């Protein structure tokens, strides 16, 4: 049966990087005889411009029917001043929430060829392989009430709410522990339990889940310390489980350990292993339209799609190997450029991955 993929290029560099990931996905499908059917639609600012809303109902229905969604990125200055309820980012949050994509896997893996591209010393990052498991459909991103109001004294005030229920914590912890079993059997749960009630419950429930995984070593860390440890000694981590906002911040930070935010893919999964796959970075308005964005995070997200939703490990491995070959050849987009390497455009990078894949 053919695999149905909904492609949502989005805004900014989204369409540029998605074009390359689609090329690679099609090449992998040919090589491994997979039947994929792609359907295209809009999300974010592009959807607002076309449909007047950042996520149209029909688009959401298409996403529900699809086996997987491949997303570029959303947002940009053009839509920063519109009604906050219609901002591009709200479309992204809605699709995550509606598809119940609560488990966001963000692997920070250093390709050895890029050890010099990180801003940290090569010996600090060499061999780095961290998996951040970010809770994606709860916490402060979705908590109610949230409000902006004017107080009696005329002052403006705004607040958000950070709720977590034990079932939400338990299911993301289970994902983290299960994945740790396939890796180095270490889980670090990151929270702010010295201050936040939601974090105190988080820690309690994670402890309970850990009882079912006596073979996995659990540690807890406050998020401020975790931010520091990630740059001091990042290789101490194997799997990090954390809430929605802490995971957002720490994953951008971890991306620089791998050389560039342009290298960090992501998978957002629900209980049915249906998934949305997107780079961890944004729409990069500062470089959009120039053909210079790094497409590898998106290409690697397509590889995660083959691995997690379609269980096509060989095809997924092949894409990762092809990326590695291209880095061996010294091809680099600007963000990972180094002395002695050859600077290539977004499309040249995609073409090189396709060529390497065919020649594997």
User: Which residues are designated catalytic?
Assistant: 141, 192, 224, 248, 252
Choose the one of ligand NAD, Mn ion, ligand IPM, none that binds residue 285, judging by a C-beta under 5 to 8 angstroms depending on kind. ligand NAD
**Which residue in the shown chain puts its C-beta closest to ligand IPM?**
89
Q: Is residue 224 annotated as involved in ligand binding?
A: yes
104 binds ligand NAD (CB under 6 A): no
Shortest CB 2 distance to ligand NAD, Å: 27
- Stretch 216-275 residues interacting with Mn ion (CB under 5 A): 248
Q: Is residue 290 annotated as involved in ligand binding?
A: yes
Continuous segment of H or E residues that includes residue 277? strand 275-277
Q: Which residues pair with 219 in a beta bridge?
A: 188
Q: How far are the Cα atoms of 138, 167, 186, 212 from residue 205, in angstroms, in the given order?
A: 15, 9, 17, 12
HEC per residue, 177-243: HHHHHCCCCEEEEEECCCCCHHHHHHHHHHHHHHCCCCCCEEEEEEHHHHHHHHHHCHHHCCEEEEC
Contact positions vs ligand IPM (CB under 6 A): 75, 89, 92-93, 248, 280, 282
- Stretch 273-332 residues interacting with ligand NAD (CB under 6 A): 278, 281-287, 293-294, 297
Q: Kindly state the number of chain residues that form the binding site for ligand NAD, as judged by CB under 6 A.
A: 21
Neighbours of 182 (CB within 10 A): 9
Q: Is residue 115 annotated as involved in ligand binding?
A: no
Whole-angstrom Cα distance, residue 323 to residue 342? 15
Binding segment for ligand NAD (CB under 6 A), chosen from 50-58, 70-78, 181-189, 323-331, is 70-78
SS3 292: coil
- By beta-carbon proximity to ligand NAD, the closer residue of 74 and 257 is 74
- By beta-carbon proximity to ligand NAD, the closer residue of 199 and 260 is 260
- By beta-carbon proximity to ligand IPM, the closer residue of 92 and 239 is 92
- By beta-carbon proximity to ligand IPM, the closer residue of 238 and 243 is 243
Shortest CB 248 distance to Mn ion, Å: 4
Neighbours of 201 (CB within 10 A): 18
Q: Is the sign of the CA dihedral 287, 289, 292, 293 positive or negative?
A: positive
DSSP state of 2: P
Residues lying near ligand NAD in the complex (CB under 6 A): 17, 73-76, 89, 92, 261-262, 278, 281-287, 293-294, 297, 335
């Amino acid at each position: 049966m053919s695999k149905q993929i909904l492609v949502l290029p989005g805004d900014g560099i989204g369409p540029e990087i998605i074009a390359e990931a689609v090329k690679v996905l099609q090449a992998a499908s040919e090589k491994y005889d997979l039947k994929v059917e792609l359907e295209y639609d809009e999300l974010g600012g592009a959807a607002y411009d076309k449909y007047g809303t950042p996520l149209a109902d029909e688009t959401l229905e298409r996403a529900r029917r699809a086996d997987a969604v491949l997303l570029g990125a959303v947002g940009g200055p053009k839509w920063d001043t519109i009604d906050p309820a219609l901002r591009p980012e709200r479309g992204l949050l809605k699709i995550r929430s509606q598809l119940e994509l609560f488990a966001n896997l963000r692997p920070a893996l250093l390709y050895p060829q890029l050890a010099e591209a990180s801003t940290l010393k090569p010996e600090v990052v060499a061999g780095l392989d961290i998996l951040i498991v970010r809770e994606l459909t709860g916490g402060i991103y979705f908590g109610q009430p949230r409000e902006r109001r004017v107080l009696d004294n005329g002052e403006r005030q705004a607040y958000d709410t950070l709720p977590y229920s034990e079932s939400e914590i338990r299911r993301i912890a289970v994902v983290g522990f299960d994945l740790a079993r396939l890796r180095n059997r270490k889980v670090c749960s990151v929270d702010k339990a010295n201050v936040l009630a939601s974090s105190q419950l988080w820690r309690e429930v994670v402890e309970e889940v850990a009882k079912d995984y006596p073979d996995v070593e659990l540690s807890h860390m406050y998020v401020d310390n975790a931010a520091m440890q990630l740059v001091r000694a990042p290789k101490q981590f194997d799997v990090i489980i954390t809430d929605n906002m802490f995971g957002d911040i720490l994953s951008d930070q971890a991306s620089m350990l791998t050389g560039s935010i342009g290298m960090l893919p992501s998978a957002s999964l629900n209980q049915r292993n249906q998934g949305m796959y997107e780079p961890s970075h944004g729409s990069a308005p500062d470089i959009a339209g120039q053909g210079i964005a790094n497409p590898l995070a998106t290409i690697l997200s397509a590889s995660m799609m083959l691995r997690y939703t379609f269980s096509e490990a060989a095809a997924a491995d092949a894409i990762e190997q092809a990326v590695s070959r291209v880095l061996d050849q010294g091809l680099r987009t600007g963000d990972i450029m180094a002395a002695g390497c050859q600077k290539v455009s977004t499309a040249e990078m995609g073409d090189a991955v396709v060529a390497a894949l065919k020649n594997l």
